């Protein structure tokens, strides 16, 4: 064989060998795992199941881990897959979900943990619920509203914090977006293409309403009715709007949970057992697992979070959104005691 042909053949052989041995290029996914289909949730207390009780061992305050992951969390109620994994942690910020997390309640980056889960199991749905603990500051806002109710010298929280909403949501959105993009990156690193799974970004259910029972403060809801109405109609919808923009920019489906517990909010009914949001809850059980470290915030950590019934309804609604194929939808509590999916955009035509 002429020398030129030998050289060409050798070059072709070398290129073919390198193509086999070289790792996948950035952004190109390899085959996804063939394990059992799994739905995974990442995020903060609203996703971890805070308020639903029966928290997983190791997340109840042991060794300063207060993630409060509940077996009743909505990720376990979607009926989307035989397996479900809860990576969410109470109090988590966007930085705690994304790569490079400094560590939250002793746990590393949730996106980093997602890589391991997605490499071991066949993840078909990833849910992210995030933003409340960033600049949106829902917990701090709630505390400010309670302080205003208790102290007559304090102005209403809707007056002091209302003008800050736009700037706070504008600052929250890019942090959530960075975390969502890290979630996308985690799935790529585990071998998934964007078409191999469904990504859902969820907002938050308003925990209180202006339509409260009489003497609401004495029954565990120390909010004025005007401030509670402001939160329900202004604060939570503003965060939902910011999160919907993140979903649009990252190619995630958006699920608005703002009205998911409407009519069943804390102090909306004479019997708290009929409500889907906890009133102020002081539980001494954290002292058993967290010792003296539980004194203070952790004793009331469950307050104004969805109950088991709420998580069951929201889980079904998440499943309905994913199965519908719609790019966005809202979970709305009905008078029949069920949460229903409402979509404003038609689902894409089936091929």
Specify the CATH number for the domain of residue 181. Answer: 3.40.50.1110
Domain assignment present for residue 1? The answer is no
Domain holding 59, by residue range, is 34-342
Domain assignment present for residue 336? The answer is yes
Buried-exposed string 106-140: b where 16+ CB fall within 10 A, e elsewhere: ebebbbbbbbebbbebbbbbbbbbbbbbbbbbbbe
Q: Is the pLDDT of residue 2 over 90?
A: no
- Under the banding of pLDDT at 50, 70 and 90, the label for residue 112 is very high
Cα separation, 224 vs 146, in Å, equals: 8
Averaged pLDDT for residues 199-228: 98
Buried-exposed string 12-32: b where 16+ CB fall within 10 A, e elsewhere: eeeeeeeeeeeeeeeeebeeb
Token pair for 64: 């300063």
Structural domains in the chain (count): 1
Low-confidence winner among 25-34, 54-63, 110-119, 337-346 (lowest mean pLDDT): 25-34
Domain assignment present for residue 92? The answer is yes
pLDDT of 73-99, one tens digit each? Answer: 999 999 999 999 999 999 999 999 999
Cross-strand partners of 339: 333
Neighbours of 284 (CB within 10 A): 8
Domain assignment present for residue 320? The answer is yes
Q: Mean pLDDT for the chain?
A: 90
Q: Is the pLDDT of residue 351 over 60?
A: no
- Runs of H (alpha helix) within the chain: 3-21, 45-48, 94-97, 110-120, 138-150, 157-160, 165-189, 225-230, 236-250, 286-290, 308-324
Domain assignment present for residue 6? The answer is no
Domain assignment present for residue 219? The answer is yes
What is the SS3 assignment for 148? helix
Determine contact, residues 279/209, Cβ cutoff 8 Å: no
Averaged pLDDT for residues 221-229: 98
Q: Is the pLDDT of residue 157 over 60?
A: yes
Q: Is the pLDDT of residue 14 over 60?
A: no
Token pair for 348: 């894409």
Domain assignment present for residue 15? The answer is no
What's the pLDDT at 16? Answer: 37
Which single residue is written with the structure tokens 């708290």? 272
- Under the banding of pLDDT at 50, 70 and 90, the label for residue 266 is very high
Domain assignment present for residue 311? The answer is yes
pLDDT of 288-310, one tens digit each? Answer: 888 878 787 888 889 999 999 99
- What does the longest C-alpha to C-alpha distance in the chain come to? 98
Cα separation, 165 vs 170, in Å, equals: 8
pLDDT of 22-80, one tens digit each? Answer: 333 334 445 677 789 999 999 999 999 999 999 999 999 999 999 999 999 999 999 99
The 8-class DSSP code of residue 190 comes to T
What's the pLDDT at 300? Answer: 86
Rg (CA), the chain: 23
């Amino acid at each position: 064989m002429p020398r030129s042909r030998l050289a060409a053949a050798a070059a072709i052989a070398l290129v073919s060998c390198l193509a086999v041995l070289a790792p996948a290029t950035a952004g190109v996914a390899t085959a996804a795992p063939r394990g059992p289909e799994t739905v995974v949730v990442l995020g903060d207390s609203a996703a971890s199941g805070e308020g639903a009780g029966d928290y997983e061992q190791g997340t109840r305050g042991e060794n300063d881990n207060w993630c409060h992951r509940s077996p009743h969390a909505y990720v376990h109620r979607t009926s989307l897959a035989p397996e479900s994994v809860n990576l969410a942690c109470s109090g988590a910020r966007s930085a705690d979900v994304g790569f490079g997390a400094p560590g939250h309640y002793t746990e590393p980056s949730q996106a980093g943990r997602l890589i391991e889960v997605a490499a071991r199991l066949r993840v078909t749905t990833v849910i992210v619920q995030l933003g409340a603990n960033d600049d949106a500051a829902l917990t701090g806002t709630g505390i400010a509203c309670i302080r205003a109710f208790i102290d007559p010298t304090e102005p209403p929280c809707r007056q002091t914090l209302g003008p800050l909403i736009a700037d706070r949501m504008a600052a929250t959105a890019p942090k959530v977006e960075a975390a969502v993009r890290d979630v996308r990156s985690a799935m790529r690193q585990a071998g998934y293409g964007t078409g191999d799974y469904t990504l859902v970004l969820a907002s938050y259910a308003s925990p209180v309403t202006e339509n409260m029972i009489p003497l609401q403060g004495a029954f565990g809801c120390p909010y004025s009715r005007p401030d509670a109405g402001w939160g329900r109609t202004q604060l939570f919808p503003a965060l939902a709007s910011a999160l919907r923009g993140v979903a649009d920019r990252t190619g995630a489906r958006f699920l608005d949970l703002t009205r998911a517990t409407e009519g069943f909010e804390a102090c909306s009914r004479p019997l708290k057992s009929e409500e889907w949001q906890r009133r102020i809850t002081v539980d001494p059980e954290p002292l058993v697992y967290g010792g003296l470290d539980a004194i203070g915030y952790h004793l009331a950590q469950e307050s104004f979070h969805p109950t088991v019934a709420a998580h069951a309804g929201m889980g079904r609604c998440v499943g309905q959104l994913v199965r519908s194929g719609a790019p966005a939808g809202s979970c709305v509590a009905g008078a029949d005691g069920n949460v229903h999916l409402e979509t404003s955009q038609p689902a894409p035509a089936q091929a």
